[in-house]
Amino acid sequence: MRAYNFFIIVLLCLFILLVDTAAYYWLQSILELIPYPFFVTLIKILFWVFTFALIIAILSLKLSLSYIDPSRRQRLISSMYGLTVSSFIPKIIFVIVISTLYYSNYVFSEDDSLIWIPIAGLIAGFLPFFVIVYATLKGLYRFKVYNINLQNEQLKGVRIVQISDLHLGSFRSQYKVFDRAIKMINDLEPDLIFFTGDLVNNYAWELKGWEESFKKLRAKQGKFSILGNHDYGDYSTWENETDKEKNFEAIKDFQTRIGFRLLLNESEIVIVNSNEVAIIGVENWGKPPFNQYGDLEKALKTVREIPSKILLSHDPSHWKEEVLSHPDIFLTLSGHTHGMQAGFSVGGKQWSPIKYKYKEWAGLYEQRGQYLYVNRGLGWMGFPGRFGMRPEITCIDFE
């Protein structure tokens, strides 16, 4: 998770205060409907106590981060993130809705009875609050298998399972919860399992206790993995480069211990239906400000003559920037976006705010006979919830 400087945090707190002031202004019209002065006063006091307590908590956490143990730090940040979102979004929607309705009615209607407007605003504010509660309590670990069928003669009959963006530090040692996903994967009886990066949030210590769970994963022809942007320790403050390198080596070593072949700008050949298939893995390649460790040309060096290629590349923006210029790469598997952990899917159409940052952000994409699949992620990062973007296990069958 990106670390924001103190000035940005102060601006956030001022914005929270501004929105809460506007919400309090419109709240007066609702409180007028309550005939009990004691309850009206109590609501007003609680409103401002919560506002200032939240702002003080955000500033205090920012100032004390460097003194907090990293394991507690991640939990505190996620909790504060969830509390801020669940408070802020309903209020800003309440303000927008009630302001729009009030001024629209003032301009276009001669009706002076405006009691329905604050009620409508209140309902509009509560709806996202309930959505956020659902996303936090229910949506976070509702694992789902997404089934995809692709045609490829050389891979006919092969089943691939892809997982991505585990962010194990966010699971908070809930091994039994993750084991449900392990069972779902094994029940698919995959030939190959691919993991496309972001094993941790930042630190190797997040891997403690997870080895046994991962060793349960079964694939008939192998398990392969790559690194994501969070696996390099770039979002943490290190006393020296040696500590950062030790952290990085421990993360790579863990993947070897659990039976995954970690591909670092390199390739491996597997035999499928008597055909050679190149599994290519690049290190993280992202548009700035993300670092570009990936080297596709280096990864392809030993397998250029292999006609059938599958590429593992964490960031989907890599596909259009470099991969499409290699027409022999039939399928690219990515993750990274999480589908922003929030969105909608209706009648085969899907939407998420993340689409304005990434053109390919969730699901299957095709261009000139080349395919990209973007996994929605199995774990979570930042906001501790998911709505409309269930944690994903991708199952790809070749026909």
Q: What is the CATH number of the domain that holds 260?
A: 3.60.21.10
pLDDT classification of 112: cutoffs 50, 70, 90: low
How do residues 141-169 score in pLDDT, each as one tens digit? 999 999 999 999 999 999 999 999 999 99
**For residue 281, is it within any domain?**
yes
127, 213: one domain: no
Residues with Cβ within 8 Å of residue 339, at least 6 apart in sequence = 352, 354, 361, 362, 376, 377, 389
Work out the average pLDDT over 184-207.
97
How do residues 360-377 score in pLDDT, each as one tens digit? 999 999 999 999 999 999
The C-alpha R_g of the chain, in whole angstroms, comes to 24
131, 247: one domain: no
CA distances, 100 to each of 45, 97, 123 (Å) = 27, 5, 14
79, 166: one domain: no
Residues with Cβ within 8 Å of residue 344, at least 6 apart in sequence = 350, 351, 352, 388
* Rounded Cα distance, 206 and 175, in Å: 12
How do residues 299-315 score in pLDDT, each as one tens digit? 999 999 999 999 999 99
How do residues 337-364 score in pLDDT, each as one tens digit? 999 999 998 878 899 999 999 999 999 9
250, 394: one domain: yes
213, 113: one domain: no
241, 337: one domain: yes
pLDDT classification of 110: cutoffs 50, 70, 90: low
- Boundary residue ending a domain (91, 118, 137): 137
Largest CA-CA distance found in the chain, in angstroms, rounded: 81
230, 285: one domain: yes
Report whether pLDDT(174) > 80: yes
Owning domain of residue 35: 6-137
pLDDT of 142 reads 96
Residues with Cβ within 8 Å of residue 135, at least 6 apart in sequence = 341, 342, 383, 385, 386, 387
Report whether pLDDT(116) > 60: yes
- Boundary residue ending a domain (137, 167, 201): 137
**For residue 1, is it within any domain?**
no
**For residue 177, is it within any domain?**
yes
Report whether pLDDT(286) > 80: yes
**How would DSSP label each residue in 73-134?**
HHHHHHHHHHHHHHHHHHHHHHHHHHHHHHHHHHHH------THHHHHHHHHHHHHHHHHHH
- Boundary residue ending a domain (119, 137, 155): 137
* Rounded Cα distance, 269 and 193, in Å: 14
**For residue 91, is it within any domain?**
yes
119, 221: one domain: no
160, 122: one domain: no
**For residue 314, is it within any domain?**
yes
* Rounded Cα distance, 172 and 51, in Å: 28
Lowest mean pLDDT among 67-71, 113-117, 244-248, 286-290: 113-117
Is residue 210 within 8 Å of 260, Cβ to Cβ? Answer: no
162, 90: one domain: no
* Rounded Cα distance, 40 and 34, in Å: 7
Is residue 280 within 8 Å of 311, Cβ to Cβ? Answer: yes
**For residue 23, is it within any domain?**
yes
pTM of the entire structure?
Answer: 0.88
How do residues 23-69 score in pLDDT, each as one tens digit? 999 888 888 888 899 999 999 999 999 999 999 999 999 898 877 87
251, 365: one domain: yes
**For residue 246, is it within any domain?**
yes
Number of domain units in the chain: 2
Report whether pLDDT(81) > 70: yes
146, 133: one domain: no
Tokens for 349, please give them: 């159409």
**For residue 288, is it within any domain?**
yes
> Between residues 211 and 107, which one has the greater pLDDT?
211
